[in-house]
Amino acid sequence: MLFYTHNPSQFAFSKDENDFKNYISSLSKNRKEPTKKPVFALLGVPFDSTTTYRSGARFGPSAVREASHNFENYHLSWDCSIDSTIFDLGNVQVSHGNFKKTCSNLLETVSDLLAYDIKPIVVGGEHTISYAVVKALKAYKNLNELTIVHLDAHMDIADSYMGVKYSHATVMRRIFELKPGRLIQVGVRSSSYEEKEFVQEMEIEYYTSAEVNDNLNSLLKVLDSINGPVYLSIDLDVIDPSEAPSVGNPTPCGINSQQLEELIKILALKQVVAMDIVEVSADKIGDLTSINAAKIILDFLCLQGKSSHQD
């Protein structure tokens, strides 16, 4: 079942509920007609039950929607406008304190979207929710061919954290266990010794924020060479806390918003099948973190018109 919660603060430039119903009914009538342009659905997941430091990611979806109205639908530097279809479907029903139930609701909703060939843009909420999205993809994509690009200050690849298996700090371990073809971590600058050992042993690629600073162009070449479907997971703490302070675990020495824009410029033109933007714990209008999160989504959508990839 598709969840639709009417939200007066809908993400900027999104179509309304009736447009969504009409779109779904037109699909049912012309099931075999391929759509020309990608269609996206934004889903909020206001869940933050495993947060261990700065709580409030449950306010992320509302804050990001509000912040999206700060922008134009035209990107001056890139000379492109948002012309793909985006439906803001409101928030998935979460069960506070119960990741299993929340994960099940999100997985079901994302699966429904994928069945309609709609690409989910999931706005958290804490990072744990990414697991549900990748698990839903498993029914539609061969995960062996999927590249996960994970932008984060943290590796999030501990086997368990504070005794918890499904946590914001273990999410990439759980996703790695789903056996994606490739996992690339970008902007990392914090891990336990065991996590560093694990990624080295498993030959998981990682690029620290210092490496992004020192050699952005060589990283852009690596990302540009990715083939096949991509899942993009963006923890806003990848940005330095001076520009994005309202996150669950602010971590200094991060990348800046200009560098992130360069990364998105490359990644948005890959075959992105789904993405998430997580860990925004902003709760007031004009918060820098939610503004950066909204900009990522708008930049991504803007570039879809320039995309030449095929599913």
- Per DSSP, the residues of 51-100 read --SS--GGGHHHHHHHHHTTS-SEETTTTEE--SEEEEEEEPPP-TT-HH
Q: How many residues bind Mn ion (CB under 5 A)?
A: 5
Whichever of 223 and 236 has its CB closer to Mn ion, that residue is 236
Residues in Cβ contact with 73 at an 8 Å cutoff, skipping those fewer than 6 apart: 12, 13, 81, 82, 298, 302
Kindly write out the interface string for residues 173-192 of this chain, putting x where it contacts Mn ion by CB under 5 A and - elsewhere: --------------------
Candidate ranges 12-20, 133-141, 177-185, 228-236; the one touching Mn ion (CB under 5 A): 228-236
Stretch in the footprint of Mn ion (CB under 5 A) among 49-57, 61-69, 90-98, 151-159 = 151-159
- Give least dist CB 145 to Mn ion, A: 26
Would you count residue 48 as binding Mn ion (CB under 5 A)?
no
Q: Both tokens of residue 85?
A: 């279809």
Backbone angles phi, psi at 231, to 5 degrees: -110, 125
Judged by CB under 5 A, the stretch of 9-17, 136-144, 145-153, 290-298 that binds Mn ion is 145-153
Shortest spacing between CB 30 and Mn ion, in angstroms: 42
Per CB under 5 A, 235 contacts Mn ion:
yes
How many residues in total does the chain contain? 311
Q: What share of the chain is helix, strand, coil (3-state, %, to 5)?
A: 40, 20, 40
Please select the residue that binds Mn ion; options are 237, 262, 276, 299, rule is CB under 5 A.
237
* CB 157 to Mn ion: min, Å: 11
Q: Residue 138 CB, nearest distance to Mn ion (Å)? A: 24
Interface region with Mn ion, contact rule CB under 5 A, candidates 42-50, 235-243, 263-271, 302-310: 235-243
Among 229, 257, 233, smallest CA distance to 243 is for 257
* List of long-range contacts for 17-25, beta carbons under 8 Å, 24+ apart: 19/87, 20/87, 20/89, 23/85, 23/87, 24/116
- Which residues ranging from 152 to 171 are in contact with Mn ion (CB under 5 A)? 152-154
Closest separation in Å from C-beta 2 to Mn ion: 29
Contacts of 229 (CB under 8 A, 6+ apart): 141, 145, 146, 147, 271, 272, 273, 311
Q: Which is nearer to Mn ion, 66 or 235 (CB)?
A: 235
Q: What are phi and psi of 147, to 5 degrees?
A: -105, 125
Task: State the minimum distance, in angstroms, from the CB of residue 173 to Mn ion.
Answer: 14
- Our finding on whether 126 is near Mn ion (CB under 5 A) is no
Residues of this chain that interact with Mn ion (CB under 5 A) are: 152-154, 235, 237
